[in-house]
Amino acid sequence: DAGITQSPRYKITETGRQVTLMCHQTWSHSYMFWYRQDLGHGLRLIYYSAAADITDKGEVPDGYVVSRSKTENFPLTLESATRSQTSVYFCASRDLAGPTAGEQFFGPGTRLTVL
C-alpha cells in the first residue's frame, strides 16, 4: 500500500521488555520522525532522521533507540519499556524538496501500553 504505515497498531507489553515499533513509507521521503502523544502534552518529538544512517534526538529521546538503514524504514525501539512510555506513537515523513516539502505525512499511530 502506498503511504506511511505503522505496525503494530496496538501493543501491550510488560515493564522491562524490549519493544520495537515499525514505520514504513513508500514515498522515498528523506525525513522521518517519531512523535509520542500523551494527554496534556500534545505531540512531542522523540527522534528524527534526515536520511538513511542519519538520526538525531528530538525533545524526549531518553529510553528510545532508532535506526535507519533504509530510506523507507524507521523503527523505534524501547530498550527496556517503562510505564511512563505508555502512549500513542506517531511516525511521520516529509520530502526534502518539491511542492509538498513543508508537509508532514503521519501514520495511523501505534497505541502502546506498558503494564
10, 14, 16, 108: which one binds another protein (CB under 8 A): 108
Identify whether the C-beta of residue 34 lies closer than 8 Å to the C-beta of residue 48.
Answer: yes
# chain residues binding another protein, by CB under 8 A = 22
Nearer to another protein, 53 or 56 (CB): 56
At residue 63, φ and ψ (nearest 5 deg) are 90, 0
Is residue 92 a contact residue for another protein (CB under 8 A)? yes
Query: Cβ(9)–Cβ(23) under 8 Å?
Result: no
Do 89 and 76 contact (CB within 8 A), yes or no? Answer: yes
Q: Residue 10 and residue 110: Cα distance in Å, rounded? A: 6
Q: Per CB under 8 A, which of residues 9..68 are in contact with another protein?
A: 31, 33, 42-43, 45, 48-50, 56, 58
* Contact footprint for another protein (CB under 8 A): 31, 33, 42-43, 45, 48-50, 56, 58, 88, 90, 92, 101-109
